[in-house]
Protein backbone atom coordinates (compact mmCIF):
# COMPACT_ATOMS: atom_id res chain seq x y z
CA UNK A 1 0.00 0.00 0.00
CA UNK A 2 1.38 3.37 -0.96
CA UNK A 3 2.34 5.60 1.90
CA UNK A 4 0.07 8.56 2.47
CA UNK A 5 1.83 11.83 1.70
CA UNK A 6 1.65 14.38 4.45
CA UNK A 7 2.48 18.02 4.79
CA UNK A 8 1.57 19.19 1.28
CA UNK A 9 -1.67 20.86 2.21
CA UNK A 10 -1.91 22.91 -0.99
CA UNK A 11 -2.00 20.77 -4.09
CA UNK A 12 -1.14 21.76 -7.64
CA UNK A 13 -4.79 22.53 -8.39
CA UNK A 14 -4.88 25.17 -5.67
CA UNK A 15 -1.71 26.77 -6.96
CA UNK A 16 -2.53 26.81 -10.67
CA UNK A 17 -6.11 27.96 -10.14
CA UNK A 18 -5.43 30.81 -7.73
CA UNK A 19 -4.38 33.22 -10.47
CA UNK A 20 -7.32 32.29 -12.71
CA UNK A 21 -10.09 32.31 -10.11
CA UNK A 22 -9.29 35.73 -8.66
CA UNK A 23 -12.00 38.31 -9.54
CA UNK A 24 -10.93 41.19 -11.75
CA UNK A 25 -12.64 44.46 -12.57
CA UNK A 26 -11.29 44.47 -16.14
CA UNK A 27 -10.95 41.55 -18.52
CA UNK A 28 -7.41 40.25 -19.02
CA UNK A 29 -5.79 40.66 -22.40
CA UNK A 30 -4.35 37.50 -23.88
CA UNK A 31 -1.85 37.16 -26.68
CA UNK A 32 -3.12 35.03 -29.58
CA UNK A 33 -1.33 31.67 -29.75
CA UNK A 34 1.43 31.46 -32.36
CA UNK A 35 0.93 29.74 -35.72
CA UNK A 36 -2.86 30.03 -35.32
CA UNK A 37 -2.86 27.20 -32.79
CA UNK A 38 -5.79 27.44 -30.38
CA UNK A 39 -4.72 26.82 -26.80
CA UNK A 40 -7.38 26.51 -24.13
CA UNK A 41 -7.05 27.49 -20.50
CA UNK A 42 -9.38 24.60 -19.60
CA UNK A 43 -8.79 21.70 -21.98
CA UNK A 44 -5.57 20.18 -23.33
CA UNK A 45 -4.51 21.38 -26.77
CA UNK A 46 -1.66 20.32 -29.01
CA UNK A 47 1.15 22.73 -29.86
CA UNK A 48 4.41 22.39 -31.73
CA UNK A 49 7.13 21.11 -29.40
CA UNK A 50 9.68 23.61 -30.73
CA UNK A 51 7.49 26.48 -29.48
CA UNK A 52 8.02 25.38 -25.85
CA UNK A 53 11.11 26.44 -23.92
CA UNK A 54 12.39 24.76 -20.76
CA UNK A 55 11.33 25.97 -17.33
CA UNK A 56 13.93 28.38 -15.88
CA UNK A 57 12.37 27.82 -12.45
CA UNK A 58 12.79 24.02 -12.53
CA UNK A 59 14.20 23.10 -9.09
CA UNK A 60 15.10 19.57 -10.15
CA UNK A 61 18.66 19.20 -11.44
CA UNK A 62 19.07 15.43 -11.65
CA UNK A 63 17.13 13.15 -13.97
CA UNK A 64 17.82 9.41 -13.90
CA UNK A 65 18.98 8.36 -17.35
CA UNK A 66 17.41 4.92 -17.17
CA UNK A 67 14.02 6.26 -16.07
CA UNK A 68 14.14 8.96 -18.77
CA UNK A 69 14.88 6.35 -21.44
CA UNK A 70 11.97 4.21 -20.23
CA UNK A 71 9.64 7.22 -20.42
CA UNK A 72 10.96 8.02 -23.91
CA UNK A 73 10.15 4.48 -25.08
CA UNK A 74 6.68 4.72 -23.56
CA UNK A 75 6.01 8.06 -25.26
CA UNK A 76 7.12 6.64 -28.63
CA UNK A 77 4.53 3.87 -28.20
CA UNK A 78 1.68 5.65 -26.44
CA UNK A 79 2.32 9.38 -26.79
CA UNK A 80 2.09 11.81 -23.85
CA UNK A 81 -0.87 10.80 -21.70
CA UNK A 82 -0.66 13.70 -19.23
CA UNK A 83 -0.49 17.23 -20.73
CA UNK A 84 2.36 19.61 -19.98
CA UNK A 85 1.55 22.76 -18.05
CA UNK A 86 2.74 25.91 -19.85
CA UNK A 87 2.34 29.67 -19.78
CA UNK A 88 2.66 32.25 -22.54
CA UNK A 89 6.22 33.49 -22.97
CA UNK A 90 6.34 37.05 -21.69
CA UNK A 91 9.19 38.24 -23.89
CA UNK A 92 7.40 38.20 -27.24
CA UNK A 93 4.26 36.10 -26.81
CA UNK A 94 5.38 33.89 -29.69
CA UNK A 95 5.69 30.69 -27.74
CA UNK A 96 5.30 28.95 -24.42
CA UNK A 97 7.35 28.38 -21.30
CA UNK A 98 7.17 25.02 -19.58
CA UNK A 99 5.91 25.12 -15.99
CA UNK A 100 5.38 21.47 -15.04
CA UNK A 101 6.25 18.25 -16.84
CA UNK A 102 10.02 18.53 -17.32
CA UNK A 103 10.57 14.76 -17.68
CA UNK A 104 7.77 14.41 -20.23
CA UNK A 105 9.14 17.44 -22.12
CA UNK A 106 12.66 15.97 -22.28
CA UNK A 107 11.39 12.52 -23.21
CA UNK A 108 9.18 14.00 -25.96
CA UNK A 109 12.24 15.73 -27.43
CA UNK A 110 14.16 12.43 -27.38
CA UNK A 111 11.23 10.60 -28.93
CA UNK A 112 11.14 13.10 -31.80
CA UNK A 113 7.57 14.28 -31.24
CA UNK A 114 6.46 17.25 -33.32
CA UNK A 115 3.46 18.20 -31.19
CA UNK A 116 2.57 17.69 -27.53
CA UNK A 117 -0.59 18.21 -25.45
CA UNK A 118 -0.50 21.24 -23.16
CA UNK A 119 -2.69 23.16 -20.74
CA UNK A 120 -2.17 26.91 -20.70
CA UNK A 121 -2.19 28.84 -17.42
CA UNK A 122 -1.62 32.50 -16.63
CA UNK A 123 0.98 32.45 -13.86
CA UNK A 124 3.35 35.01 -12.39
CA UNK A 125 7.04 34.20 -11.97
CA UNK A 126 6.60 33.32 -8.30
CA UNK A 127 3.57 31.12 -9.08
CA UNK A 128 5.56 29.38 -11.82
CA UNK A 129 8.31 28.51 -9.36
CA UNK A 130 5.77 27.42 -6.75
CA UNK A 131 4.04 25.06 -9.15
CA UNK A 132 7.31 23.53 -10.36
CA UNK A 133 8.48 23.09 -6.77
CA UNK A 134 5.23 21.62 -5.46
CA UNK A 135 4.83 19.26 -8.43
CA UNK A 136 8.23 17.76 -7.71
CA UNK A 137 7.63 17.66 -3.95
CA UNK A 138 4.36 15.79 -4.45
CA UNK A 139 6.02 13.29 -6.76
CA UNK A 140 8.94 12.99 -4.31
CA UNK A 141 11.26 13.72 -7.25
CA UNK A 142 13.49 16.25 -5.47
CA UNK A 143 16.44 15.36 -3.30
CA UNK A 144 16.78 17.40 -0.11
CA UNK A 145 19.39 19.75 -1.62
CA UNK A 146 17.21 20.55 -4.66
CA UNK A 147 14.33 21.17 -2.27
CA UNK A 148 16.47 23.54 -0.18
CA UNK A 149 17.69 25.39 -3.27
CA UNK A 150 14.10 25.79 -4.47
CA UNK A 151 13.12 27.36 -1.16
CA UNK A 152 16.18 29.60 -1.27
CA UNK A 153 15.21 30.81 -4.73
CA UNK A 154 11.74 31.72 -3.52
CA UNK A 155 13.40 33.68 -0.71
CA UNK A 156 16.03 35.38 -2.88
CA UNK A 157 14.14 36.06 -6.11
CA UNK A 158 10.78 36.93 -4.60
CA UNK A 159 11.72 38.17 -1.11
CA UNK A 160 9.57 35.58 0.67
CA UNK A 161 10.04 34.70 4.33
CA UNK A 162 10.32 31.08 5.46
CA UNK A 163 6.79 31.37 6.86
CA UNK A 164 5.46 32.56 3.50
CA UNK A 165 7.33 29.81 1.64
CA UNK A 166 5.93 27.18 4.01
CA UNK A 167 2.39 28.47 3.48
CA UNK A 168 2.76 28.52 -0.31
CA UNK A 169 4.13 24.99 -0.69
CA UNK A 170 2.06 23.41 2.08
CA UNK A 171 4.99 22.46 4.31
CA UNK A 172 5.66 23.09 7.99
CA UNK A 173 7.88 26.12 8.56
CA UNK A 174 10.33 23.93 10.51
CA UNK A 175 10.71 21.63 7.48
CA UNK A 176 11.51 24.58 5.23
CA UNK A 177 13.96 26.05 7.76
CA UNK A 178 15.74 22.71 8.32
CA UNK A 179 16.12 22.15 4.58
CA UNK A 180 17.48 25.66 3.98
CA UNK A 181 20.03 25.24 6.79
CA UNK A 182 21.73 22.53 4.73
CA UNK A 183 22.82 25.17 2.22
CA UNK A 184 25.44 26.21 4.80
CA UNK A 185 27.30 22.94 4.13
CA UNK A 186 30.32 22.85 1.86
CA UNK A 187 29.72 22.26 -1.85
CA UNK A 188 31.36 18.81 -1.62
CA UNK A 189 29.06 17.70 1.19
CA UNK A 190 25.99 19.08 -0.62
CA UNK A 191 27.02 17.02 -3.65
CA UNK A 192 27.32 13.88 -1.51
CA UNK A 193 23.82 14.49 -0.12
CA UNK A 194 22.37 15.18 -3.58
CA UNK A 195 23.95 11.93 -4.87
CA UNK A 196 22.49 10.10 -1.84
CA UNK A 197 25.92 9.00 -0.65
CA UNK A 198 24.97 10.80 2.57
CA UNK A 199 21.49 11.14 4.03
CA UNK A 200 19.79 14.31 5.18
CA UNK A 201 20.42 13.07 8.73
CA UNK A 202 24.17 12.95 8.08
CA UNK A 203 23.99 16.43 6.58
CA UNK A 204 22.25 17.88 9.63
CA UNK A 205 24.87 16.62 12.08
CA UNK A 206 27.73 17.76 9.82
CA UNK A 207 26.43 21.30 10.30
CA UNK A 208 27.98 21.04 13.77
CA UNK A 209 31.39 21.57 12.14
CA UNK A 210 32.01 25.23 11.33
CA UNK A 211 35.00 24.75 9.03
CA UNK A 212 33.97 23.49 5.60
CA UNK A 213 37.25 21.66 5.00
CA UNK A 214 36.57 19.66 8.15
CA UNK A 215 33.03 18.94 6.92
CA UNK A 216 34.55 17.58 3.69
CA UNK A 217 37.03 15.36 5.51
CA UNK A 218 34.56 13.90 7.97
CA UNK A 219 31.88 13.42 5.27
CA UNK A 220 34.36 11.53 3.09
CA UNK A 221 35.26 9.33 6.06
CA UNK A 222 31.58 8.69 6.80
CA UNK A 223 30.99 7.57 3.21
CA UNK A 224 34.15 5.45 3.07
CA UNK A 225 33.42 3.65 6.35
CA UNK A 226 29.65 3.61 5.91
CA UNK A 227 28.97 5.42 9.18
CA UNK A 228 25.43 5.64 10.47
CA UNK A 229 24.02 9.03 11.41
CA UNK A 230 24.53 8.16 15.08
CA UNK A 231 28.18 7.22 14.50
CA UNK A 232 28.79 10.41 12.51
CA UNK A 233 27.28 12.44 15.34
CA UNK A 234 29.47 10.59 17.87
CA UNK A 235 32.60 11.33 15.85
CA UNK A 236 31.72 15.02 15.63
CA UNK A 237 31.04 15.27 19.36
CA UNK A 238 34.37 13.62 20.11
CA UNK A 239 36.18 16.15 17.93
CA UNK A 240 34.40 19.10 19.49
CA UNK A 241 34.80 17.93 23.08
CA UNK A 242 37.16 20.01 25.26
CA UNK A 243 40.37 18.31 26.50
CA UNK A 244 39.93 16.06 29.50
CA UNK A 245 41.49 17.25 32.71
CA UNK A 246 44.14 14.89 34.03
CA UNK A 247 43.61 13.41 37.46
CA UNK A 248 46.18 13.83 40.18
CA UNK A 249 47.35 16.27 42.76
CA UNK A 250 46.52 19.96 42.78
CA UNK A 251 48.07 21.68 39.77
CA UNK A 252 47.59 24.56 37.39
CA UNK A 253 47.85 25.01 33.64
CA UNK A 254 50.91 26.89 32.45
CA UNK A 255 48.78 28.65 29.78
CA UNK A 256 45.58 30.47 30.77
CA UNK A 257 42.36 28.80 29.51
CA UNK A 258 41.33 31.76 27.33
CA UNK A 259 44.71 31.70 25.56
CA UNK A 260 44.47 27.91 25.09
CA UNK A 261 41.10 28.47 23.39
CA UNK A 262 42.58 31.24 21.24
CA UNK A 263 45.48 29.02 20.13
CA UNK A 264 43.17 26.08 19.50
CA UNK A 265 40.91 28.20 17.28
CA UNK A 266 43.89 29.53 15.30
CA UNK A 267 45.29 26.03 14.78
CA UNK A 268 41.81 24.77 13.86
CA UNK A 269 41.59 27.39 11.11
CA UNK A 270 45.16 26.75 9.97
CA UNK A 271 44.86 22.99 9.55
CA UNK A 272 41.15 22.76 8.69
CA UNK A 273 40.65 19.89 11.12
CA UNK A 274 40.04 19.23 14.82
CA UNK A 275 42.84 20.25 17.18
CA UNK A 276 43.32 19.43 20.84
CA UNK A 277 45.85 21.51 22.75
CA UNK A 278 46.58 20.42 26.31
CA UNK A 279 49.12 22.76 27.97
CA UNK A 280 51.82 21.69 30.38
CA UNK A 281 50.83 21.77 34.04
CA UNK A 282 52.78 22.62 37.16
CA UNK A 283 52.02 20.22 39.98
CA UNK A 284 51.90 21.18 43.64
CA UNK A 285 55.35 19.66 44.18
CA UNK A 286 56.83 21.84 41.42
CA UNK A 287 57.14 19.08 38.88
CA UNK A 288 55.89 19.56 35.32
CA UNK A 289 53.20 17.48 33.67
CA UNK A 290 53.64 17.19 29.92
CA UNK A 291 51.40 18.95 27.44
CA UNK A 292 49.96 17.51 24.26
CA UNK A 293 49.00 18.76 20.78
CA UNK A 294 46.74 16.46 18.74
CA UNK A 295 45.88 17.04 15.07
CA UNK A 296 43.18 14.86 13.51
CA UNK A 297 43.49 13.49 9.97
CA UNK A 298 41.29 11.02 8.09
CA UNK A 299 43.44 9.46 5.35
CA UNK A 300 46.99 9.38 3.98
CA UNK A 301 46.06 12.16 1.58
CA UNK A 302 44.79 14.21 4.50
CA UNK A 303 48.02 13.50 6.40
CA UNK A 304 50.01 14.68 3.36
CA UNK A 305 47.97 17.90 3.45
CA UNK A 306 48.78 18.45 7.13
CA UNK A 307 52.46 17.65 6.57
CA UNK A 308 52.54 20.09 3.66
CA UNK A 309 51.19 22.83 5.94
CA UNK A 310 53.98 21.96 8.41
CA UNK A 311 56.52 22.20 5.60
CA UNK A 312 57.14 18.45 5.46
CA UNK A 313 56.23 17.77 1.83
CA UNK A 314 57.62 14.23 1.42
CA UNK A 315 54.55 12.09 0.52
CA UNK A 316 53.82 8.77 2.19
Q: Indicate which residues carry an active-site annotation.
A: 102
**Cα angle 155, 99, 30; round to 5:** 105
**Of 246, 243, 304, the residue nearest 271 (C-alpha):** 304
- At 294 the three-state DSSP class reads strand
Terminal C-alpha separation, the chain: 55
Q: What's the Cα-to-Cα distance from 169 to each of 10, 15, 126, 142, rounded to whole Å?
A: 6, 9, 12, 14
Output the DSSP codes for 233-278.
Answer: HHHHHHHHSPPPPPPSSSEEESS-HHHHHHHHHHHHHHHTS-EEEE
Q: What's the Cα-to-Cα distance from 285 to each of 211, 244, 248, 250, 257, rounded to whole Å?
A: 41, 22, 12, 9, 22
The number of helices, as runs of H, and strands, as runs of E, in the chain is 13, 10
Amino acid sequence: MAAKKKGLGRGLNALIQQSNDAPSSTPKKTTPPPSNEKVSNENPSEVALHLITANPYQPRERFEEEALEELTSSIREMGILSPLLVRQRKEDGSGYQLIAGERRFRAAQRAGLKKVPVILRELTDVEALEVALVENLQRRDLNIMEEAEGYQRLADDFDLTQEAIANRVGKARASVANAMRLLALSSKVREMVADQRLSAGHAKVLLGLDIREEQDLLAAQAVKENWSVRETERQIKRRLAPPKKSAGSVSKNDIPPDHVQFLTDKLHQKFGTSIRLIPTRTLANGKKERGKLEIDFYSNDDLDRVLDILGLTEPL
